[in-house]
């Protein structure tokens, strides 16, 4: 399965970089042509014309199972 580390896009019209940080955190860019939603749970994109409206900036990693996710969390905790 995939684990979303960062849910973000850059609007190709206004250059705004928008990040969805929570599951129901719908964020729109300055010009309103693009939006992101879903936080770290799912990648939802809203755009006006086509996929070319934005540049994908999300960071997603492939993990094998829940155990690996827990290991990752531990690793992140020890870094701080
Ligand atoms: Zn925009």
pLDDT at 78: 55
Ligand 1 center to 67 CA (angstroms): 39
* Domains in the chain, number: 1
Phi and psi torsions of 52, nearest 5°: -75, -5
On the question of pLDDT at 39 being above 90, the answer is: yes
Mean pLDDT of 31-38: 98
pLDDT in tens, 2-12: 899 999 999 99
Surrounding ion ligand 1 within 5 Å at CB are 11, 13-14, 29, 31, 33
pLDDT at 67: 63
pLDDT in tens, 47-77: 999 999 999 999 999 887 666 666 666 666 6
Mean pLDDT of 13-32: 97
Query: What residue spans of the chain are helical by DSSP H?
Result: 66-79
């Amino acid at each position: 399965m995939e684990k979303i580390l960062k849910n973000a896009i850059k609007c190709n019209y206004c250059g705004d970089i928008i990040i969805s940080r929570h599951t129901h955190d719908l964020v729109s860019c300055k010009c309103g042509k693009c939006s992101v939603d879903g936080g770290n749970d799912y990648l939802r994109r809203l755009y006006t014309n086509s996929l070319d409206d934005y540049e994908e900036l999300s960071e997603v990693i492939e993990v094998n199972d829940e155990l690996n996710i827990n290991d990752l969390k531990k690793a992140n905790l020890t870094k701080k």
